[in-house]
Amino acid sequence: MTRLFGLFKVCMKAAKSGQATLAFSRRFSYSCNSLLRGLLLIAFSVVLDGCAEVQPWERGNLAKPHMGLQPFPSQAALREHIYGSRESASGSTASSGGGGCGCY
């Protein structure tokens, strides 16, 4: 567990530096890759086989506009605002930073 945490700290430092050379970041990103893969596998192992390595030339489908996590962001934000006014469970506040009411 402490080793995992240590790895995580190393990953954070490497990401922050930003000036790292390709080799440097590849080495560290490989460590981070295995750490995150481990965490996600724990979370999703029941449902899925696990991550596949997706090469850049294989990312055609992922690049399609409708494959974005939210293809219609402003509409989604409006609907979430309405749901938030009509229901008790708050939406994720990461989108607009919360605030405001308009709580009709």
Binding site for other proteins (CB under 8 A): 11-12, 15-16, 18, 25, 29, 32-33, 36-37, 39-40, 43-44, 48, 50-52, 54, 56-75, 78-79, 82-83, 86-90, 92-94, 96-104
Instruction: Tell the smallest beta-carbon distance from residue 3 to other proteins (Å).
Output: 18
Instruction: Tell the smallest beta-carbon distance from residue 1 to other proteins (Å).
Output: 19
Instruction: Tell the smallest beta-carbon distance from residue 69 to other proteins (Å).
Output: 6
Burial of residue 20, with CB atoms counted within 10 A of its CB: 0-12 exposed, 13-18 middle, 19 or more buried: middle
Give the other-Cβ count within 10 Å of 32's Cβ: 17
Q: List the one residue out of 79, 85, 81, 83 whose CA is nearest residue 97.
A: 81
- Per the listing, tokens 């990103």 go with 29
